[in-house]
Structure 1
Amino acid sequence: MKNGILIFLRLKMEDHEPDDTVKEKIFYIITRKINQLPEAERNLLEHGSTYIGLNAALCGLIANSLFRRVFNVTQARIAAGLPMAVIPFLTAHLSYKGFVSFPLNTGDLNCETCTITRGGLVGLVFGGLYPVILAIPVNGGLAARYESAPLPEKGNILTYWTRISKPIFRKMLFPILLQTGFAAYLGSRQYKLVIKALQLPEPGLEFQ
């Protein structure tokens, strides 16, 4: 049953029911099947986006630390560290849930390659690049407030930020690639678990 999720899309053609009704049925059936999986596999499906969010928060804290060193900022550790952990966590968590987990549970995502691609892109953009980019204005603002480092004049802003950010992006390359690979792998695992759940027999029919 390589394309197991697709069997439910046939309901739409056979029953000629409204789209919303069909989607509700698909969501109900897939959810019921997922609940038959072992707890460890069920947790991976239900909380996979949380793992992506935690990795994004870690990327945010690492990037924040690197920019603080560049700008010689020693003040406001908690005030800067908290948003650099919370905002990337929420962004990556919700993005993965919206682009991967929820479409899988509703039958809208029925291609393993598409799932891997979506997961990898979410990991790259929201879990890796976004936390690093977010650290730039956060720490630039602190540097300006506490005058811990000389900031550029208006005409040299782009050149200055490019020069400052390049070495940090190079240092963050491994965490970003790790996050991308992990998110892609998680997407593949979740897709296979949904297919596995769909292949399980209905409760009470195992011995019939």
Structure 2
Amino acid sequence: MSENTQKDRVSGNDLTGAVISEMLGKNFERLPDLIRKLFLYGPFYLAGNGALAGLISNSLFRRGLNVSQAAISSSLPMAMMPFLTTFALYNGTVSGPLLSGDLNCPTCALIRGALVGVVGGGLYPILLALPVNFGLACRYNTAPMPEKGNMLRYWMDLSKPVLRKMRAVILLQAVFGTYLASRHFDTYTKLAELTFDPKEEEIKE
């Protein structure tokens, strides 16, 4: 395909999603190094915060249930699962759609980033830590167990103080997820200008 034909297709909005994604991917390497690194490695920091939230949640539930056994075996999944989940969610809902040209709404990108931070890096670690440590408490008899029919109330009463202590972490994840999505959308905007503007030769930091 000649250059003139490609420009005509861009101006006529006739490009398919696959072609747009390929064009954006090729021009991504032309962006400044700092911008590319933030786009590629930013989700790792958000996921790392999710792993930290998992460890904090695990510690709080262990204290609430007086669990002292299996510290390492319970901490490893509580760090790895939130990390992997948050990273996959962010790439699947923000980074991936931006780089493929499927996410063109800045508000939508910010909302997605905030939700990934809150759900994947905040609430999910708490919900994961509860059954893990409840199972350990049952196994080692470290705390009185609820009677039949009171399980839901018992879990809610156990989770309330943890949620109160984790509010700052959840808020931090929401703010960081929003900020990261904002920076990534700015990167997408520059990448779109570089890709679809014939007069745009390079992007400066």
* TM-score normalised by structure 1 residue count: 0.86
Residue in 2 aligned with 1:93? 87
Question: Amino acid of the residue matched to residue 158 of structure 2?
Answer: I
Residue in 2 aligned with 1:198? 192
Question: Amino acid of the residue matched to residue 33 of structure 2?
Answer: E
The worse-fitting range, judged by mean Cα deviation, of 156-165 and 96-105 is 156-165
Identify the match of residue 49 of structure 1 among 17, 20, 43: 43
Identify the match of residue 145 of structure 1 among 121, 124, 139: 139
Deviation per CA, 1:149-187, whole angstroms, max 9, x where unpaired? 111011111111111110110000000110011001100
Residue in 2 aligned with 1:166? 160
Quick check: 1:61–1:84 contact (8 Å CA) kept in 2? yes
| Residues in 2 aligned to 1:38 and 1:16: alpha-carbon distance in whole angstroms | 29
Residue in 1 aligned with 2:149? 155
Q: Give runs of aligned pairs for residues 1-208 of structure 1, distance below 5 A.
A: 11=9, 14=12, 22-200=16-194
Counting matched residue pairs gives 194
- Structure 1: gaps of 5 or more residues: 1-7
Q: Quote the sequence identity (%).
A: 48
Quick check: 2:31–2:202 contact (8 Å CA) kept in 1? no
| Residues in 1 aligned to 2:193 and 2:11: alpha-carbon distance in whole angstroms | 22
Quick check: 2:86–2:117 contact (8 Å CA) kept in 1? yes
Q: 1:11 to 1:123 in 2, by over 3 A?
A: farther
Deviation per CA, 1:107-142, whole angstroms, max 9, x where unpaired? 110011110011111111111101011100000000
| Residues in 1 aligned to 2:85 and 2:166: alpha-carbon distance in whole angstroms | 19
Quick check: 2:78–2:128 contact (8 Å CA) kept in 1? yes
| Residues in 1 aligned to 2:161 and 2:9: alpha-carbon distance in whole angstroms | 54
Q: CA deviation at 1:203?
A: 9.4
Q: 1:143 to 1:12 in 2, by over 3 A?
A: farther
**1:154 match: secondary structure:** coil
- Structure 2: gaps of 5 or more residues: 1-5
> Alpha carbon RMSD of aligned pairs, Å?
2.4
| Residues in 1 aligned to 2:104 and 2:117: alpha-carbon distance in whole angstroms | 20
Q: 1:74 to 1:38 in 2, by over 3 A?
A: same
